[in-house]
Amino acid sequence: MSHPRKFMGSLAISLLLAAAAHAADFSVQPAGETTMMPDILADAADDPAFWLHPTDPARSFIIGTNKLTAANGGLYLYNLDGSQFDSVLGARMNNVDVRYNFTLTGQKVDLVAATDRTHGVIALYTVDAAARSLTPAGSIALDGLADPYGFAMYHSKQTNRHYAFVSDNDNDGTVRQYELFDAGGSVSGALVRQFNVGSTVEGIVADDELGYVYVAQEDVAIWKYGAAPAASATPADRTAVDFTTSGGGPLTADIEGLTLYYASSGAGYLIASSQGASTYFIYKREAGNDFVASFNIVANESAGIDLVTATDGIHVVNGNLGAVPGAYDWTAGLFIAHDDWNIFHTDTSPSGQNFKLVKWSDIATYAGTIPLTIDTTWDPRSIPEPATGPLLLALAAWPTLHRRRPLSLNT
């Protein structure tokens, strides 16, 4: 949801729309949920991300944004059982993403970055793995953008360069791409590409391995563009993954969060939040992005966890995050979904928003029909292999060859 005033009636609206829209192919229950945002009866939370600890998965954490006010706005950090343990407050943070192995002052660091709507910037942090905390690492000014909105990072496995994609909350769907660099110990960015999608864009996710960026034009379609800064971003050079009902497709506006499940050999899934129907659509990650199935998240009665409606951001983790008896079991991965109304039917106290946590194994084995892939081998920290063998020899010889040609031509 874009506006707090929409929140009050959102539960009723989403239930009405759910009845009219494409029915979900299957339902799952949340196995956990995060601590609720402090803002009661308000559209505060938006987008999750996940930081994977380099050696001890149990010390990983979930990150959630609060976009409502500067006072409570920021990044909230949650343990794997959903309990909040830290926050970085003071700005309306909208969308958040994580990437690894960025070189800062000669050290490999993990980056957390978000669209900061209070200051009109991309706010960047490094992760202190020992302290499980975020350290400010710079900001990128976004001159000319009215309201920084969607956000995703891209770590190219072809070039080992890091990029940030940011959208403007405007009418023509402006998307900018920045290359991230070390500006003397803090992270800065150079604008390398800008294009218009056509109308408001928020959800963005980049495929580090295959080199694509997926963009959700909220009222219209999910588009797939080349993620390299030199890739063409004209309408002729993008591919539609799927459309909203207004374009003849099954998605119910807004199309909100997008996330990628990385399986081996370029396989896996793209998942999208069809917010108006409180449903998630799964597509193949491979070329063609064929539709696989749709699902929704219903209440877990025995655990006292409510159903999920009107989801903004989503994030899927396909690593083995381990299990703690009585707390969680994310051994086959974790799906995180924003919930716009955190209230169980027996609860009479005023409520707000949080994030629901679903076992990927529950999604993958739904209803006993066609199971989805469970593949926990993807390493988000992987970097390109250095050039070896014939390629390295060719590169070593290149300056000599290059020098020879102009010399012979000039004489």
Minimum CB–partner distance for residue 95 and Ca ion (Å): 5
The answer to whether residues 130 and 75 touch, using CB atoms and an 8 Å cutoff, is: no
Minimum CB–partner distance for residue 385 and Ca ion (Å): 28
281: its two tokens: 């659509």
Minimum CB–partner distance for residue 278 and Ca ion (Å): 9
Of 17-25, 43-51, 72-80, 238-246, which segment contacts Ca ion by CB under 5 A? Answer: 43-51
202 binds Ca ion (CB under 5 A): yes
- Window 343-382: contact mask with Ca ion (x via CB under 5 A): ----------------------------------------
Minimum CB–partner distance for residue 401 and Ca ion (Å): 46
* Nearest residue (CB) to Ca ion, 207 versus 339: 339
Instruction: Say how far apart CA 115 and CA 96 lie, in whole Å.
Output: 7
* Nearest residue (CB) to Ca ion, 55 versus 378: 378
> Taking Cα atoms as reference points, which of 23, 196, 49 lies closest to residue 125?
49
- Render 198-225 in DSSP notation, one character per residue: SS-EEEEEEETTTTEEEEEETTTEEEEE
Minimum CB–partner distance for residue 133 and Ca ion (Å): 19
* Nearest residue (CB) to Ca ion, 46 versus 208: 46
Residues making up the chain, counted from first to last: 411
The answer to whether residues 75 and 129 touch, using CB atoms and an 8 Å cutoff, is: no
Instruction: Say how far apart CA 384 and CA 79 lie, in whole Å.
Output: 31
47 binds Ca ion (CB under 5 A): yes
* Nearest residue (CB) to Ca ion, 110 versus 306: 306
Instruction: Say how far apart CA 70 and CA 50 lie, in whole Å.
Output: 23
Residue nearest to Ca ion (CB): 312
Q: What 3 state SS string does 239-296 have?
A: EEEEEEHHHCCCECCCEEEEEEEECHHHCEEEEEEEHHHCEEEEEECCCCCCEEEEEE
Of 1-9, 13-21, 323-331, 388-396, which segment contacts Ca ion by CB under 5 A? Answer: 1-9
Torsion of CA 248, 308, 299, 272, to 10 degrees: 50
Of 73-81, 133-141, 195-203, 231-239, which segment contacts Ca ion by CB under 5 A? Answer: 195-203
Q: How many residues make contact with Ca ion (CB under 5 A)?
A: 12
Question: Which residues are within 8 A (CB) of 262 and not within 5 positions of it... i.e. 6 or more apart?
Answer: 209, 268, 285, 318, 375, 378, 380
CA 332 to chain centre: 19
Instruction: Say how far apart CA 67 and CA 233 lie, in whole Å.
Output: 29
254 binds Ca ion (CB under 5 A): yes
Interactions with Ca ion, residue window 327-346 (CB under 5 A) = 339, 341
Interactions with Ca ion, residue window 49-78 (CB under 5 A) = 49
* Nearest residue (CB) to Ca ion, 230 versus 242: 242
* Nearest residue (CB) to Ca ion, 13 versus 323: 13
The answer to whether residues 266 and 209 touch, using CB atoms and an 8 Å cutoff, is: yes
Minimum CB–partner distance for residue 114 and Ca ion (Å): 8
33 binds Ca ion (CB under 5 A): no
> Of residues 207, 219, 306, 375, which one binds Ca ion by CB under 5 A?
306
Of 106-114, 177-185, 249-257, 391-399, which segment contacts Ca ion by CB under 5 A? Answer: 249-257
* Nearest residue (CB) to Ca ion, 292 versus 343: 343
163 binds Ca ion (CB under 5 A): no
Of 2-10, 160-168, 243-251, 373-381, which segment contacts Ca ion by CB under 5 A? Answer: 2-10
Of 92-100, 158-166, 179-187, 242-250, which segment contacts Ca ion by CB under 5 A? Answer: 92-100
Interactions with Ca ion, residue window 132-151 (CB under 5 A) = none
- Paired residues of 63 in beta bridges: 49, 77
The answer to whether residues 190 and 161 touch, using CB atoms and an 8 Å cutoff, is: no
Of 75-83, 96-104, 225-233, 403-411, which segment contacts Ca ion by CB under 5 A? Answer: 96-104
40-49 b/e (C-beta count within 10 Å ≥ 16 → b): eebbbbbbbb
- Render 25-69 in DSSP notation, one character per residue: SEEE--SEEPPPPS-TTS--EEEEEEE--SS-GGG-EEEEEE-S-
Residues of the shown chain interacting with Ca ion in the complex, contacts defined by CB under 5 A? 1-2, 46-47, 49, 97, 202, 254, 306, 312, 339, 341
